[in-house]
Amino acid sequence: MKVPLLAFNDKGIYCQQADVYLDPWRPVTNAIITHGHADHARWGHKNYITHYDNVPIIKHRLGDINVSGKDWNETFTVNGVKFSLHPAGHVIGSAQIRVEYKGEVWVFTGDYKTEDDGISVPYEVVKCNSFITECTFSLPAFKWTPQAEVMTDINNWWAENRAEGKTSVLFGYSLGKAQRLLKYLDPNIGTIYTHGAIENMTEVLRPLVDFPATVRVTSETKKEDLLGSIVLAPPSAHGSTWIRKMTPFVTGSASGWMTFRGARRRRAVDRGFVLSDHCDWTGLLESIKATGAEKVICTHGYSDIFSKYLKELGYDARTAHTQYEGELGEMDSKKDVEEERIEEQRE
């Protein structure tokens, strides 16, 4: 029986011919990493390969690792298998992994989105025979409003809160969402403050993107300084002792899950902004069609529902179990959480 070029096992997505794993969740010898979120970039591998822009990100998050960077579309061969990285548009440095052997081509998307956010290299369609796709928001209910409109709403919300003498606290994941928000916040409204975990990651990324100026919230920051300003914070800061000094404050959250009112209630935020670093329903379907793939493997998200729908469209579709978690996997890394606790202890 022919061994598939890529197979799923208890460690990750495995290419037996090259003895290489893609985004493995258990320690392996050779790992190719799509991007820096905690569910895709794990500590403990002997050798890491990723895009150049992702190198400083995973070094910041994982510490002293043996990592080499590759450029977009740069081909590198391992035991006859050709690999290359292509833009995924998910967050800065995020890549799809193309794998080719004896004329057979597979593409693993990692996480991806088709809307150009202005800070990540835009998603690139890569032709293939087999396509491994995420399905985080693979329901028709998920249809994204253009980024420019969402950011206008956010800036208007901030301005309204400032007029009422309140601090605006906006939650977004420390890698990706926070920088996307920061890029388009209007500094003419007021000062942009940041939680330590977000500030540290933004400092890593400033050499790559021109971001507005920010001020780190520290134990010396006074409540009076924050009034009328906006504070970017990771979701885990909500309800913590760290946030108490923001009073009086209004909270907002930027996430694809804000599509549902129930999600806003569960997260106990005053305002929800629908902004995701993943594809919506249309983006997923259009991307899959554009690859020309006949075989589609659906991973994290509404994978069962989505694969069934793809079968109805004529694809050879199935699901595969992984430890990837979509937006949940974008929660703070262990290092970010430790930094947050240090910030709280300083209070």
**DSSP codes joined into one string, 122-135:** PP-----SEEEEEE
Measured between its terminal Cα atoms, the distance across the chain in Å is 62
Residue 182: pLDDT above 80?
Answer: yes
CA pair distance 240, 341, nearest whole angstrom = 10
User: What pLDDT sits at residue 328?
Assistant: 58
- Maximum average pLDDT range among 239-248, 297-306, 335-344: 297-306
User: What pLDDT sits at residue 338?
Assistant: 41
Which residue matches tokens 């989105």?
113
CA pair distance 343, 347, nearest whole angstrom = 7
67-70 and 47-51 beta bridge pairing? parallel
**What are the pLDDT digits (tens) for 251-270?**
999 999 999 877 666 678 99
Residue 87: pLDDT above 80?
Answer: yes
CB half-sphere exposure, 173, CA atoms < 13 A: 21
What pTM was computed for the model? 0.92
- Structural tokens at position 305: 């529902």
Indicate the DSSP class of residue 169.
E
Range of weakest confidence among 233-237, 289-293, 342-346? 342-346
**What are the pLDDT digits (tens) for 32-45?**
999 999 999 999 99
230-233 and 76-78 beta bridge pairing? unpaired
- Structural tokens at position 83: 């690999």
Range of weakest confidence among 106-115, 305-314, 322-331? 322-331
CA pair distance 189, 221, nearest whole angstrom = 19
CA pair distance 42, 31, nearest whole angstrom = 10
User: What pLDDT sits at residue 260?
Assistant: 86
